Amino acid sequence: MSREAKLVTSTDYVHPKRPAVLRAYNAVFDPAALDLERLLDAARRSTGLHDFGDPFFKTPLAVLIDSIEREARLHAFGRTVIQGRLVGMLENRLRVEQIVRDAPEIESTPILRPIVIAGLQRTGTTLLHRLLAADPQSRALLGWEALRPVPQPGEGRTGSWRRRIGGRLAEIGLYRIAPEFFAVHPVEADSPEEDILLLDHSFTSQASEATMHVPTYAAWLEQQSLLEPYRYLAKMLRVLLWQKPGDFWVLKTPHHMEYLHDLFAVFPDAVIVQTHRDPQATMGSFCSMVAHGRGVFSDLIEPREIGSHWLRKVRRMIDRSLAVRDAGARASFVDVSYYDLIADPLEQVRRIYAHAGRELSAEALAAMQRVLERDTQNRYGKHAYSARDFGLSPTRIEEMFADYRARFGIRHETTNGIARLRTKATGFGHRSTLTATMTAFIDMLNGEPSLNPVEPNLRLGGQTALVTGANSGLGKAVAIDLARRGARVLLACRSGIPEAGLDIARESGSQAIEMLRVDLADLESVAKLADELARREERIDLLVCNAGLMPNKPRATRQGYCVMFGTHYLANHLLVQRLLASGVIPNDVFASNGRTGTRIPRIVFVASETHRSSDGLAFARLGELVSFSTNDAILHYASSKLAMLTFATELARRLMTERGPSVAVHGLCPGPVASRIARDAPEILAPVVDAAMKRVFQAPEKAALPVVYLGTAPELAGDTGWYLHLMRRKAVSEAASDVENGRQLWETGQRMLARWL
């Protein structure tokens, strides 16, 4: 295997890899700001020419420059490259005008029935493009031509060696700077390239928003007609045909889907090849391509912004292409399934040629076969990606493209899924306070990749969250975070009323805070809270079952159960089921007022990794109050958290419907938190425990990150059954996920709670 083939692309998009020389460049140089007139002057000086042709391009270029300067956040090298690219395209415009004046016959060169591949990104368009371009009778834009489409001084009509060398050097340079990008999308000087790079000479293409963060420019461009840019594209294609003739053009870029109306106005006999593939497979792949591309120019990559922007953009591209098709252009389209293309690529080529009325020669077929043998998948490395990295859950993607999938019969693409998740306890386990503490330290030092926290700008306006145990520590930090995001937050606490609520309101800047009194060690109190919420016809979008404790000696709930078992499991079972039955948490399993898809409510259980060290659930003596020593307390705590997570997994199963989960149920261990959970530690250990928590354990604000992630992250919308440890995804223990354990706990809990259900 070659060295390149061993490469696997990074999914740490926020921290793009940089060669040392590039880091040094960024540290030393500070290129000047982009300026329209300076760019025009630079192009004039380098070419000695002055006529750019129709000046329509200046308006989009000005908008683009303004957006780059205000929004793109380019590093020094990125700014240098973009400036060079803009000047280069202006130079090309000058040379196009000059060559058309020198050879006026160019303007009358016919462009007959071009084949335009206009499918979504990552749907096999590159493979199909390279196959069609292999036909000796076809004409396709090559990589080096895209950079310099016009002969340079001294090259004559057909000379190209200088431009070929320039293209090859650009290819080598890009590979040295960003080798991972080649594993995503090979950029080769002598291979067919997208004609979007020609449209870019009018500064009106998706290329800018794919390679830079320029939302103002992107929004402006969507409101423009691209008729003039397509006319200029035709002009450049004629210049290229004048240099090297061909019977027909093979064009390719997803950009065309958004502007087919303008394309047909310029190329009325075009054959549009639209490729189709499962959006679940393509969205993550394309967003990863954008992230890697932007990483060439900027150090500030926002994966969720990329996902949100391109999810909407791809939907727009589909809608605009369908509008043209349904307005009377259906006969111009050929639909190609990605799966049919992979299974028998040459058969799909035959279909396209038949539709275009062209003969597929034996010579062309032989050339295409050579392409298939040469362009093997992963020859530059393996492209690793996940749509979730960009804030896109499977449910969110499915909702966006369900009608598109149905219209074209696009199958669901099977995947290998995530790697096997850890199920065993880490470190020294949790069978004593000492080993649990040592394991917690080890876990905090774990260097495994973690999930990215929810971005601060995610808003929760119009949503209501209920958080138990929110008067201090972790629960209070979660409540503050949710309130800052605009959620209305209900705080269910035994103490701290109203002081804790006032603190949360002050720190969050929100007045949408309400304290509700509940004692989770008293099932009567829990039932009253559920009744009150039902009476008020509340609708809870997020329930965070956070309250917890670990006393150093046996204590009983008001009903006589072990207080840890009663608080961590029984109270939550009762509260959740009552809220589901009354529809306070909307659902279609226990009530009939559910929401579907990405709008389903979420329930988050704050559990503990200690559940992995429990001896299991003793169903015959569940919740029984027994004596234990200080050192044994953690084992009883572990068993109560095992009950909590077993309940959570069983609840997730019971809330699953044919349409997907009716309510999302997740669990987590926040890791060691500097909180009051060990407030009942023995007096002799209290100073040590308190010092350790304050100096070494996480602050509640940091520990709140996985709670907020499970409760609000867009990439989990519509999903259920996640478990996090810190900010890493794991599987719950085998005992917690065991179906029989879940059934037995549910039935036992129902009997124990029958009086209040």
- Amino acid 253 reads T
Q: How far apart are CA 381 and CA 394, in angstroms?
A: 26
Q: At what angle do helices 473-484 and 499-508 cross, to 10 degrees?
A: 40
Do 523 and 664 have their domain in common? yes
Query: Is 697 part of a structural domain of the chain?
Result: yes
Where residue 597 sits, what CATH number does that domain have? 3.40.50.720
Tokens 């992995």 -> residue: 612
Residue 723: strand pairing partners: 667, 730
Same domain, 345 and 241: yes
Tally of domains within the chain? 2
Assess whether 223 and 335 both reside in one domain.
Answer: yes
Q: How confident is the model at residue 686 (pLDDT cuts 50, 70, 90)?
A: low
**What is the DSSP secondary-structure string of 548-613?**
----SS--B-TTSSBHHHIIIIIHHHHHHHHHHHTTSS--SSSSS----GGG--EEEEE--GGGGG
d(CA 572, CA 565): 10
Q: Is residue 427 part of a domain?
A: no
What pLDDT is attached to residue 424?
A: 74
Report the C-alpha gap between 233 and 198 in whole angstroms: 6
Q: Is residue 181 part of a domain?
A: no
What lies within 8 Å, CB to CB, of 116 at 6+ separation is 251, 252, 256, 263, 267, 270, 271, 272, 273
- Residue 133 and residue 19 share a domain: yes
Bridge partners for 28 per DSSP = none
> Does 455 fall in a domain?
no
Indicate whether 396 and 469 sit together in one domain: no
232 catalytically annotated: no
Residue 399 and residue 470 in one domain: no
Q: Is residue 175 part of a domain?
A: no
* Residue of 217, 637, 709, 723 marked catalytic: 637
Domain final residue pick, 366, 390, 408? 408
Asked if 612 and 704 sit in the same domain, the reply is yes
pLDDT in tens, 162-215: 999 999 999 999 999 888 888 888 889 999 999 999 999 999 999 999 999 999
What local confidence, expressed as pLDDT, does residue 144 receive?
Answer: 97
User: Do both 397 and 468 map to the same domain?
Assistant: no
Q: What is the CATH number of the domain that holds 49?
A: 3.40.50.300
pLDDT in tens, 489-526: 999 999 888 999 999 999 999 999 999 999 999 999 99
Q: Is the residue at 420 inside a domain? A: no
Same domain, 370 and 465: no
The model carries a pTM of 0.88
Residue 431 pLDDT exceeds 90 = no
Q: Which of 363, 387, 408 is the last residue of a domain?
A: 408
Task: Give the range of the structural domain holding residue 581, as residue numbers without chain letter.
Answer: 461-752
- What 3 state SS string does 25-41 have? HHHHCCCCCCCHHHHHH
Based on the fold, state whether residues 569 and 688 are members of the same structural domain. Answer: yes
Tell me the CA end-to-end span of the chain in Å, nearest whole number. 63
Looking at the fold, whether 334 and 244 belong to one and the same domain comes out as yes
Q: How far is CA 677 from the centre of its chain?
A: 35
With respect to residue 39, please indicate whether it lies within any of the assigned structural domains.
yes
Helix, strand, or coil (residue 331): helix
The pair of three-digit structure tokens given for residue 365, joined into one six-digit string: 């077929």
Is residue 239 assigned to a domain?
yes
Which DSSP state fits 259? G
pLDDT of residue 439: 77
pLDDT at residue 118 greater than cutoff 70? yes
Final residue belonging to a domain, choices 373, 390, 408: 408
pLDDT surpasses 70 at 588: yes
Are 480 and 344 members of one domain? Answer: no
